[in-house]
Amino acid sequence: MTKNAEVARVLKEIGLLLEIEGKDKFKPLAYYRGVRSIASLGEDVETIAKRDALTDIPGIGKGLSEVIKQYLETGEVELLTELRTRVPVKALELDSIPGVGPKTIKLVYDKLGVTDLESLERTANEGKLSGLPGLGEKTQIQIIEGIKVVRAGLERTLLADAMLAAEGIENALRKLKVIKKLEIAGSTRRRRETIGDLDILVVATDPEAVMAAFVKSDGVSSIQAQGPTKSSVRLGSGLQVDLRVLPDDSFGAGLQYFTGSVDHNVRIRSIAQKMGLRLNEYGLFKGEKKVAGEDEEGIYKTLGLQWVPPELREDKGEIEAAQRGELPALLSKDDIRGDLHSHTDQSDGKNTIEEMLDAAQALNYEYYCVSDHTQSLTIANGMDESRLLKRIEEIDELNASGRWKMRILKGAEVDILADGGLDIEDCVLSQLDVVTVSIHSRMKDTKGTMTERVCRALENSHVHILGHPTGRLIGKRSEFEIDLERVFETAQKHHVVMELNAYPQRLDLNAGNLRAAIKMGLKIAVNTDAHRISELENMQFGVFQARRGWLTSNDVINTYHLKELMKAIKK
DNA sequence: GCCGTTTTCGGCCCGACTGTTTTCAGTCG
């Protein structure tokens, strides 16, 4: 696991405490910028620090780089320790409550001695919050509700779940005749791994009617806000959904604005400013005159930029590329010709091989690889050599049967053992079309051990793909401690492809890692790792993540025709 | 604290909504 999240938390806490002290309005903003920058870094911040290149990171200057260095070297930051002494509150915890910010934290600390979630909940339940200057009955109820949300751990939702919820609301709203246009914006449109809340934008002839219908949608558990152009509700699942009504000729500007990210928009805005223009959610203006806003393309074009695909809008070089007209032609779902990692009921899958093949055929794939687990993974009923040899024969027969137009590829997801060896003999591996190797055990190995282990596995001349390279489960399990740079170098040397596992909880590699991998010339396989028919649909999430990693079809081997694919993985 | 086609100082996105107000501060995205 990288130190990135940890460092981001330290910077966030400093920013919050500075804001709570209230001495400087802009210093905290600089810290928050640093937080976003570090949190979305593709590389380990520690590696960057060792290169002495922290100030190359956007938003990190002399001050923040010193703070980061101090933390990495000593595990503490003097400034933070001082701040905590002056304002002894659990700022991160309190700030995570919806509706509570630095000003409220300061108020309840000064007046009531509240320092954490527990004491805030107690004072709120005792009714002591209402009556404080600026705080009334309703705010008190809102805070109690907000604490429940935090306790339930519902701050962020997986993209797949958010998209499902969005679809439900979208379908319901589209039935209203007064709605002329509707788009899902925000981080869902940017296809981030997890979503804070849903942003829905509409153009409607009768905004009031839309708002009235929206707040009564199925699954709404509470209404946070309801105005003529903006309403906000919380679903039973905890997900917050914002709906905004825009004028028709501002829809593009609104979409651009509410798609974000903040950092991308700040840059776009400053480009507009330098051209003597002003950009807000209603349009791009020269003085009082609107010069663009109906669609996004017009806004970007007027600013001298190519239209930027939402997945790239993170201020990670996309603006410079768009200025030069050099944005990559990103991978699309239609480019995918097959899936190279899937399971059946031979190991821990839920469907038979025939059922999986029928489902894959329905996706018009040109090839499809069956890759069940191997023997060390006993919990998943992994196959030993004799079962695997039988499976190989079976697939030969299935190919010969002519029942499926696509080519069925013989594969396995082979376990990497503690010492980096594989749990299937080379003489059997050599009979497979696609050998994927993965870590499923000893996930707490030290960085050195894990790196050695994986690299040794990649040195085996029968290995084609490294499956879910960091092993993370979003929100559940961190990445292994592993030196990815060394893994990439080894893979490059031994001609091994990196997997982008499309499972919504995995999305492994992440976008930053993907970008680093292709920069080194590595190829990627976008695979579903499906354990049942329905999971073959997860390919879309892999494609989203690939796009966030700037991947083109050339970078992804399962966009190739069968012949080229076999050539590409040949050792 | 960061940054630079407004470059070593002086700005820093900005509008909507709520609650508690009587004109606005706080939060959010």
pLDDT confidence bin for A137, thresholds 50/70/90: confident
Please give the nucleotide, over all strands, whose C1' is closest to the CA of residue A67. B1
Which chain B nucleotides are covered by protein, judged by CB under 7 A?
Answer: 1-3, 5-6, 11-21, 25-29
Please give the nucleotide, over all strands, whose C1' is closest to the CA of residue A226. B17
Query: From the CA of A542, how many Å to the C1' of B14?
Result: 35
Bridge partners, residue A150, by sequence: none
- For A408, phi then psi, to 5°, come to -90, 120
Please give the nucleotide, over all strands, whose C1' is closest to the CA of residue A282. B15
Q: What is the pLDDT of residues A357-396, one digit of tens each?
A: 999 999 999 999 999 999 988 888 899 999 999 999 999 9
The H-or-E segment that residue A23 falls in is none
Q: Which residue has the higher pLDDT, A184 or A444?
A: A184
- For A396, phi then psi, to 5°, come to -60, -45
pLDDT confidence bin for A154, thresholds 50/70/90: low
pLDDT beyond 90 at A341 = yes
Distance CA A480, CA A450 (A): 8
Q: How far is CA A166 from the centre of its chain?
A: 17
In residues, how long is chain A?
571
Percent of chain A, pLDDT > 70?
99
Q: What is the mean pLDDT of residues A38-55?
A: 88
pLDDT beyond 60 at A1 = no
- Which residue has its C-alpha nearest to nucleotide B12's C1'? A26
Could you give the domains of chain A?
4-153 (1.10.150.110), 157-245 (3.30.460.10), 250-324 (3.30.210.10), 333-569 (3.20.20.140)
Query: From the CA of A258, how many Å to the C1' of B11?
Result: 24
pLDDT confidence bin for A509, thresholds 50/70/90: very high
- Which residue has its C-alpha nearest to nucleotide B5's C1'? A274
Query: From the CA of A551, how many Å to the C1' of B4?
Result: 32
Highest mean pLDDT among A3-12, A223-232, A265-274, A447-456: A447-456
pLDDT confidence bin for A153, thresholds 50/70/90: low
Q: Residue A116 has which token pair?
A: 């954490």
Query: From the CA of A136, how many Å to the C1' of B27?
Result: 15
Please give the nucleotide, over all strands, whose C1' is closest to the CA of residue A79. B1
Please give the nucleotide, over all strands, whose C1' is closest to the CA of residue A231. B17
What pLDDT does A152 receive? Answer: 72
Distance CA A426, CA A25 (A): 64
DSSP at A152: T
Q: CB of A441 within 8 A of CB of A418? A: yes
pLDDT beyond 80 at A476 = no
Bridge partners, residue A409, by sequence: A369
Highest mean pLDDT among A252-256, A257-261, A291-295, A521-525: A521-525
Please give the nucleotide, over all strands, whose C1' is closest to the CA of residue A258. B29
Query: From the CA of A464, how many Å to the C1' of B19?
Result: 61
- Which residue has its C-alpha nearest to nucleotide B14's C1'? A280
Q: What is the pLDDT of residues A53-112, one digit of tens each?
A: 999 988 899 999 999 999 999 999 999 999 999 999 999 999 988 889 999 999 999 889
Please give the nucleotide, over all strands, whose C1' is closest to the CA of residue A229. B16
Q: Residue A162 has which token pair?
A: 């958010």
What pLDDT does A151 receive? Answer: 80
DSSP state letters, A316-341: SSHHHHHHHT----B--GGG--EE--
- Which residue has its C-alpha nearest to nucleotide B16's C1'? A230
pLDDT beyond 80 at A156 = no
- Which residue has its C-alpha nearest to nucleotide B24's C1'? A134
Q: What is the pLDDT of residues A532-564, one digit of tens each?
A: 999 999 999 999 999 999 999 999 999 999 999
CA distance to A276, A401, A431, A560, per residue, from A396 (Å): 67, 9, 11, 22
Mean pLDDT, rounded, of chain A: 91
Q: Residue A2 has which token pair?
A: 């990288």
Query: From the CA of A134, how many Å to the C1' of B23?
Result: 14
pLDDT confidence bin for A445, thresholds 50/70/90: confident
Please give the nucleotide, over all strands, whose C1' is closest to the CA of residue A133. B20
What pLDDT does A227 receive? Answer: 86
Query: From the CA of A106, how many Å to the C1' of B13?
Result: 25
What pLDDT does A404 receive? Answer: 96
A98: exposed, middle or buried (Cβ count in 10 Å: 0-12, 13-18, 19+): middle
Q: What is the pLDDT of residues A169-203, one digit of tens each?
A: 998 899 999 999 999 999 999 999 999 889 999 99
Query: From the CA of A240, how many Å to the C1' of B18?
Result: 16
The predicted model scores a pTM of 0.84
Distance CA A41, CA A205 (A): 43
